[in-house]
Amino acid sequence: MRKFKRFSVLMLIVSSLFMTGCDASKILEVIGNVAKGIQEAIPKVKEVIDTVAGAVNTVTDTTTANNNNNNAEQANNNNANVAINTAGDEEDLGGNAPNNAASPATSGTATAQQAAIGRAIRGLVGSTSFRGREVDGGNLACAQVVSTALRNAGALDRVSLNCDTVVSDLRARGWQRVSVPPYQEGDVVTWTTSRGPGRHIGIIVQDGSSYAAISNSSSQRTPRKHAINYLPITQVLRKV
């Protein structure tokens, strides 16, 4: 095939020589001009191709970044608005959780009742009173601990053994979901565990210039202080 193409080109050149009166210099001049034009055009064509490729890559990268941001934002919104609809709770706070890790410093003014809630939950840290059979020996006592503190502070009238019931009782008294930070002393927080959203509950307290949470530890079978974000937060409730 290559030999055939070469032969064809040769025949065209020969034919051109005869048609132009065998003026070889003019033929060579034309061929040289064409070759020069092609040589000069190749870098410009390459430059155009590179420019188009760069623009396509930029659009692709921008689209990918926007999609990632949108997906992350949608995931955050879904997590923040997830409904609590499963009965039972689960204490995932084990011995490896930080005992006194606090969230970044935030500002917020707690009401008198919220301050009372903070004092009430602090008074339960280390208590061995939440190890009854009704809470599996202290393994499932988070709702009992929180509702006891809320009752002692006058925020609720009863002690409950279920996270959903505590949340429902608070909502009936005007407590609402709030955006955080800032946190406030006495905020009630629920976390998402391996069993689903809102399966663990605790109370936020001020810890120096920052905030921490207090909830029941299944491994130690007693309330303890720990980092607010040790599990994904489902919601934070506050009397507003």
List pLDDT tens digits, range 137-162: 999 999 999 999 999 999 999 999 99
Window from 12-21, 78-87, 128-137, 224-233 with minimum mean pLDDT: 78-87
Q: Are 185 and 202 in contact (CB under 8 A)?
A: no
* pLDDT in the model for residue 240: 82
The structure tokens 């976390």 sit at 191
Tens of pLDDT along 193-229? 998 999 999 999 999 999 999 999 999 999 999 999 9
Average pLDDT over residues 154-171: 96
Q: What CATH code would you report for 112-239? A: 3.90.1720.10
Query: What letter would DSSP give residue 43?
Result: H
Average pLDDT over residues 96-123: 70
- The CA-based angle 226-227-233, given to 5 degrees, is 120
**What is the phi/psi pair of residue 224, to 5°?**
-150, 160
Residue 74: pLDDT band (50, 70, 90) is: very low
Q: Counting Cβ atoms within 10 Å, is residue 82 exposed (0-12), middle (13-18) or buried (19+)?
A: middle
The structure tokens 């009863």 sit at 158
Q: Where are the domains positioned within the chain?
A: 2-80, 112-239
* pLDDT in the model for residue 1: 54
**What is the phi/psi pair of residue 5, to 5°?**
-65, -45
